[in-house]
Amino acid sequence: MNTRKMIFFDIDGTLIPEGINKVPETAKTALKGARENGHLLFINTGRTYFNIDPFIRELGFDGYVCGCGTYIYYHGRQLLAKTIPHDRCVQLVKKMRSCRIPGFYEENDHIYFDCDAKAPSREMMENIRRTFGTKAYDLPKDIYDSSFTFDKILAYIQPDSDVEAFRSYSDSFLEYIDRGGNMAEIIQKGYSKATGIRFLCDYLKIPLEDCFAIGDSTNDLSMLEYVPNSIAMGNSDAVVLEKCSYVTDYVENDGIYHALEHFGLLEGHK
C-alpha cells in the first residue's frame, strides 16, 4: 500500500486568513509534520507563479499548481505551461473594453492592468495595481505586438458591464467563475485546479485516493470535487461546505493542523 500522500493547498482563506499575509504557526507545524512523514505538499492556486509570496515559498512545498492548472512546477522544474494565444488575447482585451468590464490580465511572471482614463473604475484599478508593485504593468499600447499574451483574467463587474455579451463570445473557450462581490475569475477551458492534480497523479504515479485538497472558495471547487479527501476551511463559501468530505476550522483557529491531524497525516508529530 502506498503510504505517501499528496496534499494540495489553496492560499487565500486557506493557508492565510483573508487580508493577512502571514501563515499561522500551527499551520507551519502541520506542514512540517506532514512533510517529515513523507507526504508531498503542493500549492494549488489561481495565482500565477510570480504572485506567490516569498513567505509561502519558504515553507518548503514540493511544487506549485498555478493559474488554475495552467502552470505546474515540481522541485523547481516547470512541467507544464499553457498561455492564451496572442491573437485571442488581443480580441479578449477588445471585448472586455467594449463590454465595459475592467480587470487585469495575469501571466506567469507579471500582471497587465488596463487603467483606461475613461473607465469609472480607474481609481479602484490603480489602487489594486499598486499592491502588485514592480510586477504590475500598464497594458501595452501596442497589444498587437506578438509578444503580448496572458494566461487568465480577473474581472471586476460594474453596474453597466455587459457580462452576457462578453460570455457569449468567450464561453466556448474560457470558463467564467463567479467569485462573489462582483468579481469573476476567467480561466482557460480544459485547465483547472483539478487538472493540475490529475497531471501530478500521472507524473508521480500516485493514485487519486491518496490525494487531499484543502480550500475555501468557488475557484477551489474543481479540485475539492475531484479528490475523495476534500477539506473545507471553516470560513468557506456555503457551496464549498456542502461539497467537502470534512470541514475544519478557520486557519487562524488551527484549521490546517486539525485537518491534517483528522486524516492521520501527522501521526507521530506534535
Residue 268's pLDDT is what? 66
Residue 9's pLDDT is what? 98
Q: Say how far apart CA 21 and CA 12 lie, in whole Å.
A: 9
Q: Say how far apart CA 68 and CA 223 lie, in whole Å.
A: 10
Q: Say how far apart CA 5 and CA 7 lie, in whole Å.
A: 6
Closest by alpha carbon to 216, among 51, 41, 16, 54? 16
List b or e across 198-227, with b for residues whose CB sees 16 or more CB atoms inside 10 angstroms. Answer: bbbbeeeebeeebbbbbbbbbbbbbbbebb
- Residue for cell digits 474581472? 155
Residue 133's pLDDT is what? 64
Closest by alpha carbon to 27, among 44, 15, 39? 15
Whether the CB-CB separation of 12 and 179 falls below 8 Å is answered with no
Q: Say how far apart CA 186 and CA 124 lie, in whole Å.
A: 19
The pairing of strands 63-66 and 136-138 is unpaired
- SS3 (DSSP) at 90: helix
Residue 269's pLDDT is what? 60
Whether the CB-CB separation of 44 and 172 falls below 8 Å is answered with no
Q: pLDDT (tens digit, 9 = 90+) per residue, 14-36?
A: 999 987 889 999 999 999 999 99
Whether the CB-CB separation of 75 and 90 falls below 8 Å is answered with no
Per-position pLDDT tens, the chain of length 270: 458 999 999 999 999 998 788 999 999 999 999 999 999 999 999 999 988 999 999 999 999 999 999 999 999 999 999 999 999 999 999 999 999 998 889 998 888 888 664 555 666 667 777 766 666 777 877 788 888 999 999 998 989 999 999 999 999 999 999 988 888 999 999 999 999 999 999 999 999 999 999 999 998 999 999 999 999 999 999 999 999 999 999 999 999 999 999 999 998 665
Residue 1's pLDDT is what? 41
How many angstroms separate the Cα of 70 from the Cα of each of 143, 184, 197?
22, 17, 11
Residue 202's pLDDT is what? 98
Residue 262 sits at φ, ψ, to 5 deg, of -60, -40
Whether the CB-CB separation of 186 and 166 falls below 8 Å is answered with no
CA 244 to chain centre: 18
Cβ atoms < 10 Å from Cβ of 181: 8
